[in-house]
Amino acid sequence: MDEPKLDRRRLDVLRAIVEDYVATQEPVGSKALVERHNLGVSPATIRNDMALLEEEGYIHQPHTSAGRVPTDKGYRLFVDRLTNVKPLTTAERRAIHSFLDEALDLDDVVSRTVRLLAQLTRQVAVVQYPSLTRSAVRHVELVGLAPTRIMLVLITDTGRVEQRVVEVVPLEESALGELRARLNAEIVGRRLSEVPGLLEDFARRRPAGEAPPAGAAPSAVDALCAVLLEMIVEQREERIVFGGTANLARFGQDFPDTIHPVLEALEEQVVLLKLLGEATAPSLLTVRIGRENELDQLTSTSVVTSGYGRGDDTLAQLGVLGPTRMDYPGTMGAVSAVARYVGRILEQA
């Protein structure tokens, strides 16, 4: 349904106020709007529209005789009515490709993604590791270090590598090879969430007619299965990396009192998880503005997040945090582009 002409015009005025305030950091007056934007109406009409926008709670006057600045409600309407996000430049797209393509492993991908997002948006970047519970087993390696010591290596399809040294009863190399083959046949390709039940069955049964491999006492199988279960359970706790907190120093005036509560909140893992929110479909953007954030320390900030993964399979979240006076089209474009590219890297892993 088309909006009334007056509402569309007021939306244009609001959009101009948001854009000017983000760019100049100064309250915006009607004279500036006339000079900078081709709104097609008189200054008096713009002043009237601004008065109506203020009455409706979309803008406010920080002090007498000042221009107007957007409220959280104004930013929300601005974001909701965005027709498209700002596309990245060719140079920015090339930088994303070259920087992330050079990543050596998953840790490097996550580390590079944090640095890249912080540089592109000039905000605080937050990246969640792909959850093991959403991953599948690619391979389990058993490496004999000594007759009674085995290196157990779990490799997932998202590139995560976890390893432990397991003490076992003396185990010959031939028995170790047979155990490795059977274990991989049992759990490779299965979701991590399915593995605990599979391992319990694996530890207490053998295929019909198969004798225990020479030297592979049940205690060795039990020990390996127990440690593998521990690895999976331990890694269910989400791992999150953030960076770019120094960028907040550029926005000191955007925080009512001090940025210290924001910085303190960012140090808490549970806060970072709340920042990222519930998992969404890959490249589906979520924007939470000001008091839409649950924590009091973050009511002067906005958070832009996106899921990333392979195809329609969401593996984790990434995003950025900054003041509510944020370049929303540019930030949303950068977050979306990086999420898509990280997903493509994981598809190739």
At residue 331, what is the residue type?
T
Q: How many other CB atoms are found less than 10 A from the CB of residue 157?
A: 20
| pLDDT at site 3 | 46
The sheet carrying 240-243 orders its strands as 240-243, 124-128, 313-323, 301-310, 285-289
| pLDDT at site 1 | 41
Alpha carbons 272 and 275: distance in angstroms, whole number: 5
Strands 124-128 and 313-323: antiparallel
Place of tokens 């953030």: 242
Alpha carbons 24 and 43: distance in angstroms, whole number: 20
State the Cα angle at 200 between 197 and 205, rounded to 5°.
125
Domains of the chain: 5-80 (1.10.10.10), 90-130+238-348 (3.30.450.40), 133-234 (3.30.390.10)
Q: 289-325: per-residue pLDDT in tens?
A: 999 988 888 888 999 999 998 777 788 899 999 999 9
| pLDDT at site 51 | 92
At residue 328, what is the residue type?
Y
| pLDDT at site 208 | 46
Q: 170-217: per-residue pLDDT in tens?
A: 878 888 888 899 899 999 999 888 888 888 888 776 544 444 544 444
Alpha carbons 174 and 271: distance in angstroms, whole number: 49
Contact of 114 with 242, CB cutoff 8 Å? yes
| pLDDT at site 5 | 47
Q: Which of the residues in the chain have pLDDT under 50?
A: 1-6, 207-211, 213-218
C-alpha 94: how far from chain center: 21
| pLDDT at site 330 | 93
